[in-house]
Amino acid sequence: MDFSTVNREFCAKTAGGDFGRLPDKPAVSGRGRRKRKNRYWGSVLFYKHLILGMTALAILLPLFGLTGMVYKYTCLKAEYQGLLRRANALCTAEAAEKDNKISEIGRKIKEELSVWTEGVGKIPFQVNTEDWNYILVNDWNPLPASYKFQLDVLEDGHQVDYRIAEDLGEMLSDAEAEGLELLVCSAYRSYERQADLFNSSVEELMEQGMTYREAYYKTHEQVAIVNYSEHHTGLAVDIVGKNHQMLDERQGRTKEAQWLAQNCSRYGFILRYPKGKEKVTGIEYESWHFRYVGRDAAQFITKNDLTLEEFLKIAKIQQKTGR
Protein backbone atom coordinates (compact mmCIF):
# COMPACT_ATOMS: atom_id res chain seq x y z
CA MET A 1 0.00 0.00 0.00
CA ASP A 2 1.20 3.48 -0.83
CA PHE A 3 2.00 5.55 2.30
CA SER A 4 0.63 8.73 0.68
CA THR A 5 -2.72 7.08 0.16
CA VAL A 6 -3.00 6.12 3.83
CA ASN A 7 -2.07 9.56 4.96
CA ARG A 8 -4.74 11.11 2.82
CA GLU A 9 -7.44 8.81 4.33
CA PHE A 10 -6.38 9.60 7.87
CA CYS A 11 -6.52 13.29 7.22
CA ALA A 12 -9.91 13.00 5.61
CA LYS A 13 -11.33 11.25 8.65
CA THR A 14 -9.83 13.79 10.94
CA ALA A 15 -11.25 16.62 9.04
CA GLY A 16 -14.62 15.02 8.98
CA GLY A 17 -14.81 14.86 12.80
CA ASP A 18 -14.82 11.10 13.08
CA PHE A 19 -11.44 10.97 14.70
CA GLY A 20 -11.73 9.72 18.34
CA ARG A 21 -15.52 9.05 18.26
CA LEU A 22 -16.69 5.97 20.06
CA PRO A 23 -19.00 3.66 18.29
CA ASP A 24 -22.68 4.21 18.95
CA LYS A 25 -24.43 1.80 21.35
CA PRO A 26 -26.90 -0.45 19.74
CA ALA A 27 -30.51 0.44 20.28
CA VAL A 28 -32.27 -1.64 22.89
CA SER A 29 -36.00 -2.15 22.92
CA GLY A 30 -38.22 -1.50 26.05
CA ARG A 31 -38.51 -5.17 26.94
CA GLY A 32 -34.88 -5.80 26.85
CA ARG A 33 -34.13 -2.81 29.08
CA ARG A 34 -32.51 -4.02 32.47
CA LYS A 35 -34.52 -3.12 35.57
CA ARG A 36 -32.84 -1.43 38.53
CA LYS A 37 -32.39 -3.81 41.51
CA ASN A 38 -34.36 -2.64 44.68
CA ARG A 39 -32.50 -2.44 48.10
CA TYR A 40 -34.02 -4.76 50.98
CA TRP A 41 -31.81 -4.20 54.02
CA GLY A 42 -32.91 -1.06 55.80
CA SER A 43 -36.04 -0.77 53.72
CA VAL A 44 -39.57 -0.35 55.07
CA LEU A 45 -40.34 -3.92 54.14
CA PHE A 46 -37.35 -5.13 56.13
CA TYR A 47 -38.54 -3.35 59.26
CA LYS A 48 -42.06 -4.67 58.78
CA HIS A 49 -40.72 -8.20 58.64
CA LEU A 50 -38.50 -7.55 61.66
CA ILE A 51 -41.39 -6.25 63.74
CA LEU A 52 -43.60 -9.16 62.75
CA GLY A 53 -40.86 -11.66 63.63
CA MET A 54 -40.21 -10.12 67.03
CA THR A 55 -43.93 -10.01 67.76
CA ALA A 56 -44.22 -13.67 66.85
CA LEU A 57 -41.28 -14.52 69.12
CA ALA A 58 -42.80 -12.50 71.96
CA ILE A 59 -45.97 -14.53 71.61
CA LEU A 60 -44.48 -17.94 70.92
CA LEU A 61 -41.69 -17.97 73.53
CA PRO A 62 -44.07 -17.65 76.53
CA LEU A 63 -46.28 -20.26 74.93
CA PHE A 64 -43.32 -22.62 74.63
CA GLY A 65 -42.35 -21.86 78.24
CA LEU A 66 -45.91 -22.42 79.44
CA THR A 67 -46.05 -25.68 77.50
CA GLY A 68 -42.83 -26.80 79.18
CA MET A 69 -44.18 -25.86 82.60
CA VAL A 70 -47.40 -27.74 81.95
CA TYR A 71 -45.43 -30.78 80.85
CA LYS A 72 -43.17 -30.57 83.89
CA TYR A 73 -46.18 -30.14 86.18
CA THR A 74 -47.83 -33.18 84.58
CA CYS A 75 -44.70 -35.25 85.14
CA LEU A 76 -44.33 -34.08 88.73
CA LYS A 77 -47.99 -34.71 89.41
CA ALA A 78 -47.70 -38.25 88.08
CA GLU A 79 -44.57 -38.81 90.17
CA TYR A 80 -46.27 -37.36 93.27
CA GLN A 81 -49.32 -39.55 92.77
CA GLY A 82 -47.05 -42.57 92.42
CA LEU A 83 -45.22 -41.68 95.63
CA LEU A 84 -48.55 -41.06 97.35
CA ARG A 85 -49.84 -44.47 96.31
CA ARG A 86 -46.67 -46.13 97.57
CA ALA A 87 -46.83 -44.15 100.82
CA ASN A 88 -50.47 -45.09 101.33
CA ALA A 89 -49.65 -48.72 100.69
CA LEU A 90 -46.75 -48.52 103.15
CA CYS A 91 -48.89 -46.79 105.78
CA THR A 92 -51.61 -49.36 105.32
CA ALA A 93 -49.11 -52.16 105.80
CA GLU A 94 -47.59 -50.46 108.85
CA ALA A 95 -51.04 -49.79 110.31
CA ALA A 96 -52.00 -53.41 109.83
CA GLU A 97 -48.75 -54.52 111.46
CA LYS A 98 -49.30 -52.07 114.31
CA ASP A 99 -52.86 -53.31 114.80
CA ASN A 100 -51.56 -56.87 114.90
CA LYS A 101 -48.96 -55.91 117.50
CA ILE A 102 -51.56 -54.09 119.60
CA SER A 103 -53.86 -57.09 119.39
CA GLU A 104 -51.01 -59.36 120.40
CA ILE A 105 -50.11 -57.11 123.34
CA GLY A 106 -53.74 -57.00 124.40
CA ARG A 107 -53.97 -60.77 124.18
CA LYS A 108 -50.84 -61.19 126.31
CA ILE A 109 -52.12 -58.70 128.87
CA LYS A 110 -55.42 -60.56 129.11
CA GLU A 111 -53.59 -63.85 129.48
CA GLU A 112 -51.36 -62.34 132.13
CA LEU A 113 -54.36 -60.89 133.90
CA SER A 114 -56.11 -64.26 133.89
CA VAL A 115 -53.01 -65.87 135.40
CA TRP A 116 -52.64 -63.26 138.09
CA THR A 117 -56.32 -63.04 138.94
CA GLU A 118 -57.04 -66.77 138.78
CA GLY A 119 -58.98 -67.52 141.94
CA VAL A 120 -58.72 -63.87 142.99
CA GLY A 121 -61.28 -61.98 140.96
CA LYS A 122 -61.41 -58.35 139.98
CA ILE A 123 -60.38 -55.67 142.43
CA PRO A 124 -63.82 -54.30 143.37
CA PHE A 125 -62.72 -50.70 143.94
CA GLN A 126 -60.84 -47.99 142.11
CA VAL A 127 -57.07 -48.18 142.52
CA ASN A 128 -54.65 -45.41 141.59
CA THR A 129 -51.27 -47.08 141.87
CA GLU A 130 -49.63 -43.64 142.18
CA ASP A 131 -51.37 -42.90 145.50
CA TRP A 132 -49.13 -42.50 148.53
CA ASN A 133 -50.50 -45.56 150.35
CA TYR A 134 -49.53 -47.83 147.42
CA ILE A 135 -45.91 -46.76 147.11
CA LEU A 136 -43.76 -49.82 146.50
CA VAL A 137 -40.31 -50.01 148.10
CA ASN A 138 -38.34 -53.25 147.84
CA ASP A 139 -35.06 -54.61 146.48
CA TRP A 140 -36.06 -53.51 142.98
CA ASN A 141 -37.77 -50.22 143.78
CA PRO A 142 -35.92 -47.64 145.88
CA LEU A 143 -37.74 -44.83 147.62
CA PRO A 144 -38.07 -41.96 145.12
CA ALA A 145 -36.15 -38.84 146.09
CA SER A 146 -39.30 -36.82 145.36
CA TYR A 147 -41.39 -38.72 147.93
CA LYS A 148 -42.32 -36.34 150.74
CA PHE A 149 -44.47 -36.85 153.81
CA GLN A 150 -45.09 -35.47 157.28
CA LEU A 151 -44.26 -37.45 160.40
CA ASP A 152 -46.34 -37.80 163.56
CA VAL A 153 -44.85 -38.85 166.90
CA LEU A 154 -46.49 -41.75 168.75
CA GLU A 155 -46.80 -41.94 172.53
CA ASP A 156 -43.78 -44.22 172.77
CA GLY A 157 -41.64 -41.80 170.73
CA HIS A 158 -41.68 -43.65 167.41
CA GLN A 159 -42.58 -41.73 164.27
CA VAL A 160 -44.97 -42.64 161.46
CA ASP A 161 -46.59 -40.90 158.51
CA TYR A 162 -49.26 -38.72 160.12
CA ARG A 163 -51.89 -40.18 157.75
CA ILE A 164 -51.69 -43.64 159.36
CA ALA A 165 -51.40 -42.57 163.00
CA GLU A 166 -55.14 -42.68 163.71
CA ASP A 167 -55.70 -46.18 162.27
CA LEU A 168 -52.59 -47.49 164.00
CA GLY A 169 -53.73 -46.08 167.33
CA GLU A 170 -57.16 -47.65 166.90
CA MET A 171 -55.64 -51.07 166.17
CA LEU A 172 -53.39 -50.94 169.22
CA SER A 173 -56.27 -49.80 171.43
CA ASP A 174 -58.59 -52.58 170.23
CA ALA A 175 -55.88 -55.17 170.81
CA GLU A 176 -55.33 -53.86 174.32
CA ALA A 177 -59.11 -53.99 174.93
CA GLU A 178 -58.92 -57.71 174.19
CA GLY A 179 -56.18 -58.21 176.75
CA LEU A 180 -53.20 -58.14 174.41
CA GLU A 181 -50.10 -56.13 175.07
CA LEU A 182 -48.57 -54.91 171.84
CA LEU A 183 -45.36 -52.97 171.44
CA VAL A 184 -44.18 -50.98 168.43
CA CYS A 185 -40.47 -51.73 168.32
CA SER A 186 -39.68 -49.93 165.07
CA ALA A 187 -41.39 -47.49 162.73
CA TYR A 188 -39.94 -44.72 160.58
CA ARG A 189 -36.18 -45.00 160.06
CA SER A 190 -33.80 -42.47 158.65
CA TYR A 191 -31.13 -43.52 156.18
CA GLU A 192 -28.51 -43.30 158.92
CA ARG A 193 -30.50 -45.54 161.25
CA GLN A 194 -31.06 -48.12 158.49
CA ALA A 195 -27.35 -48.16 157.65
CA ASP A 196 -26.47 -48.72 161.32
CA LEU A 197 -28.86 -51.67 161.58
CA PHE A 198 -27.52 -53.28 158.42
CA ASN A 199 -23.87 -52.86 159.35
CA SER A 200 -24.44 -54.05 162.92
CA SER A 201 -26.04 -57.26 161.63
CA VAL A 202 -23.13 -57.87 159.25
CA GLU A 203 -20.58 -57.38 162.02
CA GLU A 204 -22.47 -59.69 164.38
CA LEU A 205 -22.60 -62.49 161.81
CA MET A 206 -18.92 -62.06 160.99
CA GLU A 207 -18.13 -62.47 164.68
CA GLN A 208 -19.94 -65.81 164.47
CA GLY A 209 -17.48 -66.94 161.79
CA MET A 210 -19.05 -65.86 158.51
CA THR A 211 -17.11 -64.09 155.80
CA TYR A 212 -18.12 -60.54 154.92
CA ARG A 213 -19.81 -61.76 151.75
CA GLU A 214 -21.76 -64.45 153.62
CA ALA A 215 -22.71 -62.03 156.40
CA TYR A 216 -23.81 -59.39 153.90
CA TYR A 217 -26.18 -61.69 152.00
CA LYS A 218 -27.53 -63.25 155.19
CA THR A 219 -28.28 -59.80 156.58
CA HIS A 220 -29.89 -58.78 153.32
CA GLU A 221 -32.43 -61.58 153.71
CA GLN A 222 -33.88 -59.82 156.75
CA VAL A 223 -32.68 -56.21 156.64
CA ALA A 224 -33.08 -53.97 153.61
CA ILE A 225 -30.20 -51.86 152.43
CA VAL A 226 -30.38 -48.09 152.68
CA ASN A 227 -33.03 -46.45 150.45
CA TYR A 228 -34.68 -49.84 149.80
CA SER A 229 -36.46 -50.17 153.15
CA GLU A 230 -40.17 -49.62 153.70
CA HIS A 231 -39.32 -48.07 157.04
CA HIS A 232 -38.15 -44.98 155.13
CA THR A 233 -41.75 -44.35 154.05
CA GLY A 234 -43.25 -43.98 157.53
CA LEU A 235 -45.93 -46.49 156.47
CA ALA A 236 -44.35 -49.60 158.03
CA VAL A 237 -44.23 -50.65 161.68
CA ASP A 238 -42.71 -53.63 163.50
CA ILE A 239 -45.08 -54.79 166.24
CA VAL A 240 -44.34 -57.49 168.84
CA GLY A 241 -45.86 -58.75 172.07
CA LYS A 242 -44.42 -57.34 175.26
CA ASN A 243 -43.90 -60.84 176.60
CA HIS A 244 -41.73 -61.83 173.63
CA GLN A 245 -39.91 -59.05 171.86
CA MET A 246 -37.46 -61.08 169.80
CA LEU A 247 -37.72 -60.79 166.03
CA ASP A 248 -37.58 -64.49 165.35
CA GLU A 249 -39.72 -67.35 164.12
CA ARG A 250 -41.19 -67.85 167.58
CA GLN A 251 -42.71 -64.38 167.39
CA GLY A 252 -45.20 -65.63 164.81
CA ARG A 253 -46.60 -68.15 167.28
CA THR A 254 -47.48 -65.59 169.94
CA LYS A 255 -51.12 -64.70 170.45
CA GLU A 256 -50.32 -61.06 169.69
CA ALA A 257 -48.85 -61.91 166.28
CA GLN A 258 -51.75 -64.20 165.46
CA TRP A 259 -54.30 -61.55 166.43
CA LEU A 260 -52.54 -58.98 164.28
CA ALA A 261 -52.40 -61.31 161.27
CA GLN A 262 -56.16 -61.92 161.52
CA ASN A 263 -57.30 -58.38 162.28
CA CYS A 264 -54.75 -55.92 160.87
CA SER A 265 -56.61 -55.54 157.56
CA ARG A 266 -59.61 -54.03 159.36
CA TYR A 267 -57.39 -51.06 160.17
CA GLY A 268 -55.71 -50.77 156.77
CA PHE A 269 -52.57 -52.85 157.47
CA ILE A 270 -51.20 -56.00 155.85
CA LEU A 271 -48.62 -58.55 156.90
CA ARG A 272 -46.00 -57.30 154.48
CA TYR A 273 -43.74 -60.38 154.23
CA PRO A 274 -45.93 -63.49 154.58
CA LYS A 275 -44.63 -67.02 154.68
CA GLY A 276 -44.25 -68.68 151.29
CA LYS A 277 -43.94 -65.39 149.38
CA GLU A 278 -40.21 -64.84 149.82
CA LYS A 279 -39.51 -65.03 146.07
CA VAL A 280 -42.10 -62.33 145.45
CA THR A 281 -41.13 -59.91 148.21
CA GLY A 282 -37.40 -60.65 148.33
CA ILE A 283 -37.59 -60.79 152.15
CA GLU A 284 -37.96 -63.76 154.47
CA TYR A 285 -41.15 -64.24 156.46
CA GLU A 286 -41.55 -61.58 159.15
CA SER A 287 -44.52 -61.99 161.44
CA TRP A 288 -43.91 -58.57 163.01
CA HIS A 289 -43.67 -56.30 159.94
CA PHE A 290 -46.94 -54.56 159.01
CA ARG A 291 -47.51 -52.06 156.23
CA TYR A 292 -50.33 -49.56 155.80
CA VAL A 293 -52.14 -49.65 152.41
CA GLY A 294 -55.65 -48.48 153.29
CA ARG A 295 -58.63 -50.50 154.51
CA ASP A 296 -60.12 -51.58 151.17
CA ALA A 297 -56.79 -52.70 149.75
CA ALA A 298 -55.74 -54.38 153.00
CA GLN A 299 -58.89 -56.49 153.18
CA PHE A 300 -58.64 -57.51 149.51
CA ILE A 301 -54.95 -58.42 149.83
CA THR A 302 -55.45 -60.41 153.02
CA LYS A 303 -58.56 -62.20 151.78
CA ASN A 304 -56.82 -63.33 148.58
CA ASP A 305 -53.46 -64.15 150.19
CA LEU A 306 -51.58 -61.59 148.11
CA THR A 307 -48.53 -59.44 148.62
CA LEU A 308 -48.36 -55.75 147.84
CA GLU A 309 -46.32 -56.57 144.72
CA GLU A 310 -49.01 -58.95 143.45
CA PHE A 311 -51.84 -56.56 144.26
CA LEU A 312 -50.21 -53.68 142.40
CA LYS A 313 -49.49 -55.87 139.38
CA ILE A 314 -53.15 -56.88 139.16
CA ALA A 315 -54.22 -53.25 139.57
CA LYS A 316 -51.91 -52.07 136.78
CA ILE A 317 -53.07 -54.81 134.41
CA GLN A 318 -56.69 -53.90 135.10
CA GLN A 319 -55.87 -50.27 134.33
CA LYS A 320 -54.38 -51.29 130.96
CA THR A 321 -57.30 -53.49 129.97
CA GLY A 322 -59.98 -51.29 131.45
CA ARG A 323 -61.48 -54.24 133.23
pLDDT at 209: 95
pLDDT tens sequence across 309-321: 999 999 998 888 7
pLDDT at 44: 78
CA torsion, ordered 236, 239, 245, 249, to nearest 10 deg: -80
- With H, G, I as helix, E, B as strand and everything else as coil, classify residue 270: strand
Q: Which has the closest alpha carbon to 267: 174, 188, 199, 171? A: 171
Q: Give the whole-angstrom CA distance, residue 257 versus residue 251.
A: 7
The DSSP 8-state label assigned to residue 132 in this structure reads G
pLDDT tens sequence across 242-251: 999 998 889 9
Contact (CB, 8 A) for 201 and 223: yes
pTM of the model: 0.64
Q: What percent of the chain has pLDDT over 90?
A: 56
| Residue in 230, 256, 286, 310 annotated catalytic | 286
Active site (annotated) includes residue 286:
yes
